[in-house]
Amino acid sequence: MRAPKSFEEGMDRLNAILAQMQQEDTSLADSVKLYAEAASLMQYCHATLEKTSLQIEEISAKIAETVEAPQEQEEE
């Protein structure tokens, strides 16, 4: 059982698990297995929802230096 890549994937999988569990012909053993998988997914999704600190990074724009001035004057 692997960790989901994203909250979205986690939720999608949880929905799929629920649908599978709701099917009449799913055996009890399979249900229990699905439930175990759901438990770890729920933990992941819960943690994602609980995360509160926003992370900010910076990237600098790659500006090609094409502008040139013929001469340079000093600001007075």
CB closer to another protein out of 2 and 53: 53
Report the alpha-carbon distance of residue 25 to residue 62 in Å, rounded: 58
Q: Which two tokens stand for residue 8?
A: 């979205």
Closest CB to another protein among residues 2, 76? 76
Q: Which residues bind another protein (CB under 8 A)?
A: 6-8, 11, 14-15, 17-18, 21-22, 28, 31-32, 35, 38, 42, 45-46, 48-49, 51-63, 65-73, 75-76
Q: CA dist 28 to 17, 33, 56, 67, Å?
A: 14, 9, 46, 71
Q: Is 2 or 60 the residue whose CB approaches another protein more closely?
A: 60
